[in-house]
């Protein structure tokens, strides 16, 4: 057997002066070489201590011990003193350098943000972008707005709200603007906090932008880990629906240009999120763009009208409720209102009785949005009285038979105040359009209008209440 004790008892190792503190001095390597050679090749050594067995091991042991001794000596003598100054510099930098996760404010004070927004918006009058006809100043505005990462969203929201109330052009653009602000502030570790801070401003655009950014940037592992709970336990129904909608917009990017694959993704979401998710998927394909997110320019292929006619019959049961309500969005924009409405009404006959109400309500909504996007003089369609846009919807609903006509009218009532807010920035002075409806169907109109107003005011009530409290406190002071 090999005797490993020779590593510690080999004569001469502990006693030689150059192996203790002078291992790297001149001549040390010659001593090591001589001791190794003597051990391995000295004929006086026992045969087992020569090239084979103990002799080989003894030689290797001498070399290893010498190398270790030199290493320790070198570190103590040369390396540690040489590292003192660099280590001190690093310590000083870590102690006093700014925290990268807390960016230094680059913009104005929070109280000055509203004035800054107004100023930047006005500066963009000469830099219009014809590719965004409904809000041609928005690309310029988003480019010139200061870095907002050092602000709380509540501070940004005050500036957005004030500008939207002052300028009808910005009111139309505020959804896209706030959407982009969410992307720029996005932080996966703070996503619940970000979404919860949204107060419904600009149709929940901050939530849309935050969740869409998650769906766009998350790894496959992160995405499927959170798809079930990303919209759970939020402060209100409005938050949850907006979250699901943002999820759908992001999913479209991951779905390889297939509306059916995107729907399968939505079906994997939690049940409460599927409706909004499917709605966003269909809206994305209707717009021909995958997302409103900054820097994302993915064009989606149009869906053949013949496929649209039977689309919902091919979707999973989890998606049917919303599919039957919004499938009409996928008919080409250049298709006339008359043809699109006729095809939508025919498609509704394919729905089971459980979903026919959804379908006919969608017919009413579809007229408002298709007329809105396809006819000249859009503002006059909304602000004149009786509003031509509203009356067009009622005309189409006359083609719906039986008890579903009232449901169709409720869709018109729900969609019309939406476009009113786009033009006016608020529901102030909203006319009593339901008075224009036949008495038998008037209640359906009122139901649709009230549903929209309730959702629209979910966040505005909280915001207005906090402003009232602040005002009352100021008066008391």
Evaluate whether 323 touches 285 at the Cβ level (below 8 Å): no
Which of 360, 432, 420, 353 is CA-nearest to residue 396? 360
pLDDT score of 76: 55
Tokens of 151: 């602000």
Helix axis angle, 259-267 relative to 271-287, nearest 10°? 160
What pTM does this model have? 0.65
DSSP 396-457: HHTTS-TTHHHHHHHHHHHHHHHHHHHHHSS-TT---GGGGS-HHHHHHHHHHHHHHHHHHH
Angle between helices 168-185 and 404-424 (to 10 degrees): 90
Degrees, nearest 5: CA angle 200-293-126: 90
**Residue ranges per structural domain of the chain:** 6-96, 331-453
Is the pLDDT at 7 greater than 70, yes or no?
no
Q: What is the pLDDT of residue 69?
A: 60
pLDDT of 411 over the 90 cut: yes
Residue 108 pLDDT: 86
Under the banding of pLDDT at 50, 70 and 90, the label for residue 409 is: very high
Q: Taking the C-alpha atoms of 192, 198, 203 and 205 in order, what is their torsion angle to the nearest 10 degrees?
A: -60
Q: Is the pLDDT of residue 466 over 80?
A: no
Residue 460 has pLDDT above 50, yes or no: no
- Is residue 383 within 8 A of residue 422, CB to CB? The reply is no
Q: Which of 53-57, 202-206, 319-323 has the lowest mean pLDDT?
A: 53-57
**Six-digit token string for 125:** 């009058």
pLDDT at 337: 87
Nearest CA among 329, 430, 421 for reference residue 373: 329
Residue percentage of the chain with pLDDT more than 70: 69
What is the predicted pLDDT for the residue at 89? 59
Tell me the pLDDT tens digit for each residue of 93-128.
544 444 444 444 457 899 999 999 999 999 998 888
Average pLDDT over residues 273-284: 91
Is 177 a residue whose pLDDT tops 80?
A: yes
pLDDT for 73 beyond 80 = no
Say yes or no to pLDDT of 403 above 70.
yes
């Amino acid at each position: 057997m090999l005797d490993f004790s020779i590593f510690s008892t080999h004569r001469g190792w502990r006693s030689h002066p150059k192996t203790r503190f002078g291992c790297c001095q001149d001549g040390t390597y010659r001593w090591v070489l001589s001791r190794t050679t003597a051990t391995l090749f000295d004929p006086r050594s026992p045969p087992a201590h020569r090239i084979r067995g103990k002799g080989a091991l003894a030689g290797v042991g001498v070399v290893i011990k010498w190398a270790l001794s030199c290493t320790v000596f070198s570190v103590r003598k040369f390396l540690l003193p040489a590292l003192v100054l660099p280590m001190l510099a690093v310590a000083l930098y870590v102690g006093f350098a700014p925290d990268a996760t807390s960016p230094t404010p680059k913009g104005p004070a929070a109280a000055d943000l509203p004035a800054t927004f107004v100023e930047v918006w006005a500066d963009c009058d000469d830099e219009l972008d014809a590719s965004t006809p409904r809000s041609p100043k928005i690309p310029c505005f988003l480019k010139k707005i200061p870095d907002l990462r050092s602000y709380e969203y509540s501070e940004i929201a005050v500036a957005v709200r004030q500008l939207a109330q002052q300028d009808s052009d910005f009111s139309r653009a505020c959804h896209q603007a706030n959407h982009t602000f969410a992307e720029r502030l996005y932080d996966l570790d703070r996503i619940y906090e970000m979404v919860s801070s949204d107060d419904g401003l600009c149709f929940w655009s901050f939530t849309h932008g935050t969740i869409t950014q998650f769906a766009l940037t998350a790894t496959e592992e992160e995405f499927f880990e959170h798809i079930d709970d990303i919209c759970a336990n939020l402060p209100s129904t409005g938050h949850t629906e907006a979250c699901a909608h943002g999820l759908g917009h992001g999913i479209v990017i991951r779905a390889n240009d297939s509306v059916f694959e995107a729907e399968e993704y939505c079906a994997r979401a939690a049940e409460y999120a599927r409706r909004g998710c499917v709605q966003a998927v269909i809206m994305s394909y209707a717009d021909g763009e995958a997302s409103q997110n900054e820097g994302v320019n993915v064009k989606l292929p149009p869906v053949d009208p013949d496929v649209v006619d039977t689309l919902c019959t091919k979707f999973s049961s989890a998606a049917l409720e919303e599919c039957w309500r919004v499938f009409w969005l996928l008919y080409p924009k250049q298709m006339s209102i008359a043809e699109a409405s006729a095809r939508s009404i025919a498609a509704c006959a394919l729905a089971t009785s459980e979903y026919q109400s959804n379908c006919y309500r969608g017919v009413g909504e579809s007229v408002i949005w298709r007329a809105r996007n396809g006819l000249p003089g859009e503002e006059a369609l909304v602000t004149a009285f009786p509003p031509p846009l509203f009356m067009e919807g009622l005309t189409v609903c006359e083609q719906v038979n039986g008890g579903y006509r009232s449901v169709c009218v409720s869709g018109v009532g729900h969609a019309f105040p939406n476009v009113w807010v786009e033009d006016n920035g608020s529901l102030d002075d909203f006319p009593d359009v339901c008075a224009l409806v036949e008495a038998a169907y008037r209640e359906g109109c009122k139901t649709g209008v009230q549903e929209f107003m309730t959702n629209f005011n979910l966040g505005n009530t909280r915001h207005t209440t906090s402003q009232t409290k602040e005002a009352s406190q100021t008066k008391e002071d």
